[in-house]
Amino acid sequence: MSNEEVFVGSIDQGTTSTRFLIYDGSARVIGSHQVEFTQFYPQAGWVEHDPIEILESVKVCIAKALDKATADGFNVDKGLKAIGVTNQRETTLLWSKSTGCPLYNAIVWMDARTSSICRKLEEELPGGRNHFVETCGLPISTYFSALKLKWLMENVDAVKDAIKKGDALFGTIDTWLIWNLTGGVKGGLHVTDVSNASRTMLMNIKTLEWDAASLKTFGIPTEILPKIISNSEVIGKIAAGWPITGIPISGCLGDQHAATLGQACRKGEAKCTYGTGAFIVLNTGKDIILSKHGLLTTLAFKLGPNAPTNYALEGSIAIAGAAVQWLRDSLGIIQSASQIEDLASQVDSTGGVYFVPAFNGLFAPWWREDARGVCIGITRFTSKAHIARAVLESMCFQVKDVLDSMHKDADSGDKKEMDFLLRVDGGAAVNSLLMQIQADLLGNPVLRPADTETTALGAAYAAGLAVGIWKEEDIFASGEKARSPTIFRPELSEELRKKKVESWCKAVGRTFDLADLSL
């Protein structure tokens, strides 16, 4: 069997859609399918998903992608050797061990219902919002799973009863998928990987184990938690009832960690994934850097049970592509997300308009849960094209804020630990105007690979590595080639860039203290 006749599947379960991609031995996509699923907004600031709908979307995507690859002449039934899983992180759910039924909808990572819990903990715990940073690298925030789990335990009777009876299982989406894929109530494996575990606030980033003191503080029983494993190892085989059976699941990473691997980021190299949010990850190698500039300390990846741990600094931006969806779905300014590039290209500037998409607060490096979105600088001259361009600029300004903080944390004196080239991927990265604006505002080049779907690729790499399809050196060599990249170079003058950044910072300041925190 030639290298091209060996295949690896990748389940990419994102915030608004699910995909399944099939790669050949040269890491080329030979079949894929994508399905969007329902977003639930029960109250202002609340966001939920139906876990059963997510499972069904995975099943449909696998079946359709297999059909497409087979129709194109690929012998996938014989050649599929491994499956990788990557997922939206921090999204939290509990389900019944005996029935497999969710005990409540999944609470999505951007959900802000835990604001009051966060404020209470900040007031009560030594160190305030930074109480857990030394242990898990994360500040107290609505973003992370532990707060969502605490809310479920305090507010949902079905959860309270199931925990009391010893019938509750906790997990992020990776855990939910793997448990169901490997048998569910008939012996499903209850596991999570180190990257997803690092986003719960419950894992000690030094020991890579659940932290007993943190569990006690949150009041979370150990028995509901999954086993923590590495990102690249044979976990278990897919059980009956799925379009594929008997295939090993051998890779699992949270989406941003998968994209970091898919971009083959070595120590000192950073990538930005533009999706519903935007997420910038800098691989810091074996060094754990506790940020002094509003960033998160997390894992990059651990490519095997005995492999070294690569750590990272991360800046998480809650609203990026979601702002484009807002223009489409709520304002009707565009009919499809792809139209924003043409609309924004009709003007050569925003006409002085600045848009800050703090819909549910601001994440890194500001960490302001009281922030709410603003659009300022509007005049009678302002058109929908100016607003569309301001929305694109808002993504790029937020990325610049994070990268500036990363350079401060990672670079000291004359010792430069961070590459200035930004590697980009994700759905919005196909927008060339967005990428040019990003390069202009950074004052540094932006590299876009030919294949921007590096999240799914990273999960495939991890899965293939575990079963011997690829070697680690081959994966990182692919990053040096960058797969026929497009490089965007800055064209904006330093004077104009500085002026625009100053105006952006003023606009961000206008968003503070606007939230009704009684919600």
Based on the fold, state whether residues 218 and 113 are members of the same structural domain: yes
Per-residue confidence band for 414, with pLDDT thresholds at 50, 70 and 90: very low
Rounded CA separation 389/508 (Å):
17
User: What is the total count of domains within the chain?
Assistant: 2
Distances (CA, A) of 333 to 380, 383, 441: 17, 10, 25
On the question of pLDDT at 421 being above 70, the answer is: yes
Distance separating alpha carbons of residues 94 and 154, to the nearest angstrom: 13
pLDDT given for residue 481 in this prediction: 53
Note whether 180 and 209 are same-domain residues: yes
Answer with the one of 221, 255, 289 that is the final residue of a domain: 255
Pairing of strands 248-254, 168-172: unpaired
CATH number at residue 187: 3.30.420.40
pLDDT tens-digit readout, 345-362:
999 999 999 999 998 888
Assess whether 197 and 75 both reside in one domain: yes
pLDDT for 413 beyond 60:
no
Does 273 share its domain with 240? no
| pLDDT per residue as tens digits for the range 261-277 | 999 999 988 999 998 88
243 and 94 in a common domain:
yes
Claim to verify: residue 190 and residue 332 sit in the same structural domain: no
The candidate with the shortest Cα–Cα distance to 139, out of 160, 118, 156, 166, is 118
Give the span between the Cα atoms of 462 and 234, in whole angstroms: 10
On whether residue 137 sits in a domain, the answer given is yes
- Residue 468 CB partners (closer than 8 Å, separation 6+): none
Residue 457 lies in a domain: no
Contacts of 415 (CB under 8 A, 6+ apart): none
Boundary-marking domain end, from 231, 255, 279: 255
Write the pLDDT tens digit of every residue in 161-217. Answer: 999 999 999 999 999 999 999 999 999 999 999 999 999 999 999 999 999 999 999
Q: Which range marks the domain in which residue 129 is found?
A: 3-255
The reported pLDDT for the residue numbered 318 is 83
d(CA 424, CA 445): 11
281 in any annotated domain = yes
Position 416 pLDDT exceeds 70: no
Residue 216: Cβ within 10 Å count:
10
Residue 411 lies in a domain: yes
Q: Are residues 270 and 250 in the same domain?
A: no
Residue 474 lies in a domain: no
246 and 302 inside one domain? no
The string of pLDDT tens digits covering residues 84-107 is 999 999 999 999 999 999 999 999
